[in-house]
Chain A
Amino acid sequence: MPHLVVENLTKEYPTRTGPLRVLGGVSLELSAGQNLAILGPSGSGKSTLLSIIGTLDTPTAGSVRLGDRNPFELAEPDLARFRHEQIGFVFQEHFLLGSCTALENVLVPMLAEGGRPAADTIERAKSLLARVGLADRSDHRPAELSGGERQRVAIARALINRPRLLLADEPTGNLDRTSAASIGRLLVEIQAEEQAMLIVVTHSPELAALLQQRRELDGGQLV
């Protein structure tokens, strides 16, 4: 049974000349351990689709079910908690806190639960950093890391909560070809290890080739 079911997702933005339809009935399914690459030209609605699946935006019509829950039926505090527990994000920009070390950045999502992170959480953070190849750089601040290393820290941060769904929006967009391939492989490997679902929005055919499924968003429809 699929863990992520997206049905007839429609998104329209109001404009002075009438509603602008960005997504027109997008449907997809994904089970644990599966991954999907969504390709498409700029403005095709890739990021919009990812934002809706990630509950950062709401659809005009259609539904999203993650597990047995429709997140858009939740109140805002519950939705935030749901997002915090179930979904991890990796963006094109790393959005790391410059005042914190790599380890502290990985632990930042846990601050939402209040208090000091538990020892096992800190251990998981360290192991994630080790998994992304930064075990000896955990005390370094973002300014002391390279672009690829920062994105690795961002991946570790996205996984600290053991999310069921990992969403990556152009995760290699700011990296050189070598670093991009490395980050892409790392992302897929960790996703497989964590048995999470992964959806990657990208322009890069090389990155898309690393994923199990590839769909193209064209005219608001997944093809």
Chain B
Amino acid sequence: MTFWRLVLNNLSFHRRMHVAVALGVAAAVAVLTGALVVGDSVRGTLRDVALERLGCYDEALLTDRFFRATLAQELAATPGFEQHFSAAVPAIIVHGTVEYHRPDGRTARASGVTIIGCNRYFWPACRRDPAEMVPRIAGDQIAINAALAGPEQLGIDLSRSPGAEVLLRIGAESHIPADSPLGRKQGTVRSRTLAVGFVVPSRVLGNFSLRPNQQTPLCAFVDLATLQSLLDRPQRANAILLAGRVDPRTTSQRAWTAASESANQWLANHLRPTAADYGLTLNHVVVGDRAKPVLDYYNLTSDRMLLDRPVEKLADKYGDPVQPALTYLANDLQCGERHVPYSTITAIDPKKGFGPFQLGDALPSPDPSLKGRGVKERTLPPPASDLRPPTSHFPALANDEIVLTDWAADDLHAKPGDTIRVTYFDPETTHGEAQERVANFKLRGIVPLAAPDKPPLPTNDLDLAPPLAGVTDRKSITTWDPPFPFHPDRVRPSDERYWRDHRTTPKAYVSLATGRRLWGSRFGQTTSLRFPGVPGAPPQSDQSKTGALPQASSGVLDVNSQSRHRTWASRSNPSSGRHCRPRLARRRSTCCFCRSARS
């Protein structure tokens, strides 16, 4: 007997078991190999489909807001761009519906169509052969892919119906979310009739899609300027498509991944959107005389009314010098039987340098002898420069406390200690319907609000309220066209006078914590961040001044070059005879005082 004989003996002796094990192993190998082969095949197919849809575009910036389309050009002009990318193309990518009235009289409608607004560089960027023809869309044309043109969708055959026209419908989202009572829910659909120029084959980005989906996408291509016009977003885009230098079809996965990571890193370091791209505006607000302003600060606001969370965190980052504010609409202020409709109410913690008031002795109680008399007949408060200077951090209001301006307090016949009932909309709608809520507060104090012909006070700050289309741009309250349920019959002449004289200037204040609890939502809980200004600095932007601003010096936030400079004619001003109303002051070019000051 030898060792090998022993082995053979053993194999032979246990042959049944060995055969069973071999069969089991064979079955397992077959199953695993089959799964791997099928998986690899599926993976490869999906990869090919994805690459065909992406074309040459390796990176895409797709946002839920519109930014400057020139950001793509700026990126392409950045040194180092050409090492990683061959092109940067701005685009608008939205979803919409396309309708076609067929020659047989029936209407075909395709929904969920990806509408791509692209310029003339969109296709050439992916052209591999310079001689290859690429689509060119005229302003009144639309190009559709084969899936959308097919009989299951629109059923357009350009050989039989050249110049067929389709109706393009797109939901134009407002800046403010529709689920907010201040967001538009109706009348947001834009439509335009366009001629189908051609059907784009899949090999030239006809199935362009950023979504990894097995279903063939329905795509329609429109000239970028046409789509910008349709959406009323001139010079704006919501996507940047970047064509890479490395073709994943001809490069190893490892090399492509390395190139992609390098490109991503470069993008992270060099993509520099400005505040405007984020929908942010930083205004330099000066209230009062420039030499001795009552208020001098920088106001950061968003075109979405509420600041996004990352922007809100600026306040945490810069801490004490920053004053966050949340201004909301009170449908009704009530004290006893008296009401004041449609008032702005601001949640804010008073702060040195910002005001808008100081708790304690500085809060004058209304003179009982003036009860029931108009505010204009009251003794004027001291000029801004004579106000007792704040000595430290101002105490904040308690959660159940409210402060009224003397205008509102007089109108409500309210005195400290009274209960003020505030009616407002829930910050988020339910099934699209705004729900009213009520909160009761104890009147902690009354702060003065200067009449338009008097020197302004810190409470004369209409920049606390963000602009709202259909409301803040109207001359009178009765002409409001708000997105929420509105009852113009509640508006009194005195309210119209307030609107004429003070516009959106708040009539009431609560603590920031209380306001955020009542009016904060998933969309945000801050309408503005107020950063301190530099005393004596001119309202225009310059480096010496922006150095005092958080991030302003880094270029992330650019101070609005047309800084907001608002004032009232003062008694000492020789032009006091020319009354400049606040609503005009917001339009600096027509502000009589500003014009004279510049001259």
A-side interface residues toward B, CB under 8 Å?
97-100, 104, 107-108, 111, 114-117
Stretch of B10-18, B272-280, B398-406 at the chain-chain interface:
B10-18
B13 to A98, Cβ gap below 8 A?
yes
- Write the nearest CB–CB distance from A96 to chain B, whole angstroms: 12
B9 to A99, Cβ gap below 8 A?
yes
Please, how many angstroms separate the alpha-carbon atoms of A104 and B5 in the complex?
Answer: 10
Q: How large is the interface on B (under 10, 10 to 19, 20 to 34, 35 or more residues)?
A: under 10
Task: List A contacts of B1 (CB < 8 A).
Answer: 100, 104, 107, 111, 116-117
B6 to A108, Cβ gap below 8 A?
yes
Q: Beyond A104-B9, A111-B1, list 12 extra A-B contacts (CB 8 Å).
A: A97-B6, A97-B9, A97-B10, A98-B13, A99-B6, A99-B10, A99-B14, A100-B9, A104-B6, A107-B1, A111-B3, A115-B2
Closest to A111 in B: B3
Please, how many angstroms separate the alpha-carbon atoms of A219 and B490 in the complex?
Answer: 101
The 6 closest A-B pairs by CB, nearest first: A99-B13, A99-B9, A99-B10, A111-B3, A104-B1, A116-B2
Task: List B contacts of A100 (CB < 8 A).
Answer: 1, 6, 9
Q: Which of B186-204 contact A (CB under 8 A)?
A: none
Please, how many angstroms separate the alpha-carbon atoms of A13 and B9 in the complex?
Answer: 40
- Write the nearest CB–CB distance from B287 to chain A, whole angstroms: 75
Please, how many angstroms separate the alpha-carbon atoms of A136 and B1 in the complex?
Answer: 19
B14 to A111, Cβ gap below 8 A?
no
Closest to A104 in B: B1
Q: Which of B362-412 contact A (CB under 8 A)?
A: none
User: Which has the most chain B C-beta neighbours within 10 Å: A99, A100, A104, A117?
Assistant: A99
Task: List B contacts of A97 (CB < 8 A).
Answer: 6, 9-10
Task: List A contacts of B2 (CB < 8 A).
Answer: 111, 115-116
Could you jot down 8 A-B contacts, CB within 8 Å? Answer: A97-B6, A98-B13, A99-B6, A99-B10, A99-B12, A108-B6, A111-B3, A117-B1
Please, how many angstroms separate the alpha-carbon atoms of A99 and B3 in the complex?
Answer: 13
Task: List A contacts of B13 (CB < 8 A).
Answer: 98-99
User: Which has the most chain B C-beta neighbours within 10 Å: A108, A111, A114, A117?
Assistant: A111
Please, how many angstroms separate the alpha-carbon atoms of A166 and B479 in the complex?
Answer: 113
A114 to B6, Cβ gap below 8 A?
no
Task: List B contacts of A98 (CB < 8 A).
Answer: 13
Task: List B contacts of A111 (CB < 8 A).
Answer: 1-3, 6
B-side interface residues toward A, CB under 8 Å?
1-3, 6, 9-10, 12-14
- Write the nearest CB–CB distance from B514 to chain A, whole angstroms: 58
Number of A-B residue pairs, CB cutoff 8 Å, is 27
- Write the nearest CB–CB distance from B252 to chain A, whole angstroms: 45
Please, how many angstroms separate the alpha-carbon atoms of A98 and B3 in the complex?
Answer: 15
User: Which has the most chain A C-beta neighbours within 10 Å: B1, B6, B9, B12?
Assistant: B1
- Write the nearest CB–CB distance from B420 to chain A, whole angstroms: 70
- Write the nearest CB–CB distance from B3 to chain A, whole angstroms: 5
Please, how many angstroms separate the alpha-carbon atoms of A117 and B9 in the complex?
Answer: 17
Closest to B12 in A: A99
Please, how many angstroms separate the alpha-carbon atoms of A108 and B1 in the complex?
Answer: 9
Please, how many angstroms separate the alpha-carbon atoms of A114 and B4 in the complex?
Answer: 10
Please, how many angstroms separate the alpha-carbon atoms of A98 and B9 in the complex?
Answer: 10
- Write the nearest CB–CB distance from B545 to chain A, whole angstroms: 69
- Write the nearest CB–CB distance from A36 to chain B, whole angstroms: 34
Please, how many angstroms separate the alpha-carbon atoms of A117 and B10 in the complex?
Answer: 18
Task: List A contacts of B6 (CB < 8 A).
Answer: 97, 99-100, 104, 108, 111
- Write the nearest CB–CB distance from B506 to chain A, whole angstroms: 70
Closest to B2 in A: A116
- Write the nearest CB–CB distance from B332 to chain A, whole angstroms: 73
Task: List A contacts of B9 (CB < 8 A).
Answer: 97, 99-100, 104
Given contacts A99-B9, A100-B9, A114 and B3 within 8 Å (CB-CB): yes
- Write the nearest CB–CB distance from A156 to chain B, whole angstroms: 15
Closest to B8 in A: A99
Closest to B9 in A: A99
- Write the nearest CB–CB distance from B21 to chain A, whole angstroms: 16
Please, how many angstroms separate the alpha-carbon atoms of A140 and B67 in the complex?
Answer: 92
Closest to A116 in B: B2
Closest to A122 in B: B1
Please, how many angstroms separate the alpha-carbon atoms of A108 and B5 in the complex?
Answer: 11
- Write the nearest CB–CB distance from B463 to chain A, whole angstroms: 70
Please, how many angstroms separate the alpha-carbon atoms of A97 and B9 in the complex?
Answer: 10
- Write the nearest CB–CB distance from A60 to chain B, whole angstroms: 36
Closest to A103 in B: B1
Task: List A contacts of B14 (CB < 8 A).
Answer: 99
- Write the nearest CB–CB distance from B235 to chain A, whole angstroms: 72
Task: List B contacts of A117 (CB < 8 A).
Answer: 1
Please, how many angstroms separate the alpha-carbon atoms of A89 and B10 in the complex?
Answer: 23
Please, how many angstroms separate the alpha-carbon atoms of A117 and B3 in the complex?
Answer: 10
Please, how many angstroms separate the alpha-carbon atoms of A143 and B471 in the complex?
Answer: 101
Task: List B contacts of A114 (CB < 8 A).
Answer: 3
Task: List A contacts of B12 (CB < 8 A).
Answer: 99
Please, how many angstroms separate the alpha-carbon atoms of A116 and B1 in the complex?
Answer: 6
- Write the nearest CB–CB distance from B10 to chain A, whole angstroms: 5
Closest to A100 in B: B9
Closest to A117 in B: B1
- Write the nearest CB–CB distance from A201 to chain B, whole angstroms: 30
- Write the nearest CB–CB distance from A128 to chain B, whole angstroms: 15
- Write the nearest CB–CB distance from B7 to chain A, whole angstroms: 10
Please, how many angstroms separate the alpha-carbon atoms of A111 and B9 in the complex?
Answer: 14
Please, how many angstroms separate the alpha-carbon atoms of A107 and B5 in the complex?
Answer: 12
- Write the nearest CB–CB distance from A107 to chain B, whole angstroms: 6
- Write the nearest CB–CB distance from B515 to chain A, whole angstroms: 59
Task: List A contacts of B3 (CB < 8 A).
Answer: 111, 114
Closest to A99 in B: B13
Task: List B contacts of A108 (CB < 8 A).
Answer: 6
